[in-house]
Structures are given as structure tokens and as C-alpha cells.
């Protein structure tokens, strides 16, 4: 089996990708590997293996990540949704408000059905791990306006 070049992005559910997400959260919290490991009740050496992707995370570690840091298991394992539980609802509410403000500012009237299509498309992208920016949303509005 041929080796993949190192520049290839790992599968979102691979141990390497999971390790990258763990490192992202740890750094965002301003914690060292040792400090983050202690918060999860694992040894620093074990945690290093998780971040490197040389060890798979256990169900117990996933529970600790959720309990100690509020991390959404779906995001940790698959990179889908947002990192912290509860952020999905907040993000959706913020998006609906931003979409409404855009429609008012541009004086575009969209039927509720078409607004629903935009919100649904944005939500599906978020759940699949893709962030859709307002430039894309503006394009969707242009396509759906009457």
C-alpha cells in the first residue's frame, strides 16, 4: 500500500484529526499538555499520545472532555458541529438574527419558506463541520429572492 504524502489532510475522524482538535481546544484554553492532562485525570504521557494521534481516545476520556470542558463528543470524534455543547443553539440564534438584519438592510423580502431553506442549508453545513460565511448566505438570498 503506497504511503500518503504528509501534506494530505487527515480524515476528520482519524486519531490524528482528533488529536489536532484536542490541541486546538487546549491551546485556546491557555493550558499546557500537563495541565490539560491533569484536568482529564490522565497522565501527561498518555495525553501526548492522544494529541499526536498515536492513541485512540476512550469512551471514558470522551466523558471527561465533556464533563470538564463542555466539549461536544460529535465535534471531538468527527469534527462536526461546534466544539462546545450549547454553542449550536447560540450559533443558530445568532445566524437567524444576522440573516434578518441582512434582509432588512438590503430591503429584500423572502417568503418564510425561502428563509427556511437558507437557515436549513446553513444548519446542515454547520452540522457537517463547515462554517458558511455571510458572503455565501448573500448569494443564497440572491438566488431565492422573488
Under the banding of pLDDT at 50, 70 and 90, the label for residue 92 is: confident
pLDDT the model gives residue 119: 86
How many alpha carbons fall within 13 Å on the CB side of residue 66? 15
* Residue 56: inside a domain: yes
Q: 84 pairs with which residues across the strands? A: 71
C-alpha distances out from residue 51 to 22, 24, 28, 38, 91, Å: 6, 10, 14, 14, 27
* Residue 2: inside a domain: no
- Assess whether 48 and 93 both reside in one domain: no
C-alpha cell at position 134: 455571510
Query: Phi and psi for 65 in degrees, rounded to 5?
Result: -60, -40
Under a CB-based contact definition with an 8 Å cutoff, are residues 132 and 121 in contact? yes
Over residues 39-69, the pLDDT tens digits come to 999 999 999 999 999 999 999 999 999 999 8
* Residue 10: inside a domain: no
Structural domain ending residue among the three candidates 78, 108, 129: 78
* Residue 94: inside a domain: yes
- Assess whether 70 and 105 both reside in one domain: no
- Tell me 74's DSSP state: H
Characterize 92-103 residue by residue with b for buried, 16 or more Cβ atoms within 10 angstroms of its Cβ, and e for exposed.
eeebeeebeeeb
pLDDT the model gives residue 146: 67
- Assess whether 30 and 57 both reside in one domain: yes
- Assess whether 92 and 124 both reside in one domain: yes
| Tally of structural domains, the chain | 2
C-alpha cell at position 47: 495525553
- Assess whether 19 and 67 both reside in one domain: yes
Domain limits for position 39: 15-78
Amino acid at each position: 500500500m503506497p504511503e500518503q504524502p504528509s501534506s494530505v489532510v487527515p480524515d476528520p475522524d482519524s486519531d490524528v484529526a482528533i488529536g489536532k482538535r484536542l490541541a486546538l481546544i487546549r491551546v485556546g484554553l491557555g493550558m499546557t499538555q500537563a495541565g490539560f492532562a491533569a484536568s482529564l485525570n490522565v497522565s501527561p504521557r498518555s495525553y501526548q499520545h492522544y494529541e499526536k494521534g498515536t492513541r485512540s481516545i476512550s469512551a471514558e476520556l470522551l466523558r471527561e472532555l465533556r464533563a470538564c470542558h463542555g466539549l461536544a463528543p460529535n465535534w471531538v470524534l468527527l469534527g462536526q458541529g461546534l466544539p462546545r455543547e450549547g454553542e449550536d443553539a447560540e450559533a443558530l440564534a445568532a445566524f437567524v438574527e444576522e440573516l434578518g438584519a441582512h434582509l432588512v438592510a438590503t430591503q429584500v423580502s423572502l417568503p418564510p419558506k425561502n428563509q427556511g431553506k437558507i437557515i436549513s442549508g446553513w444548519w446542515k453545513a454547520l452540522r457537517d463541520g463547515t462554517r458558511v460565511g455571510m458572503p455565501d448566505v448573500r448569494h443564497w438570498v440572491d438566488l431565492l429572492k422573488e
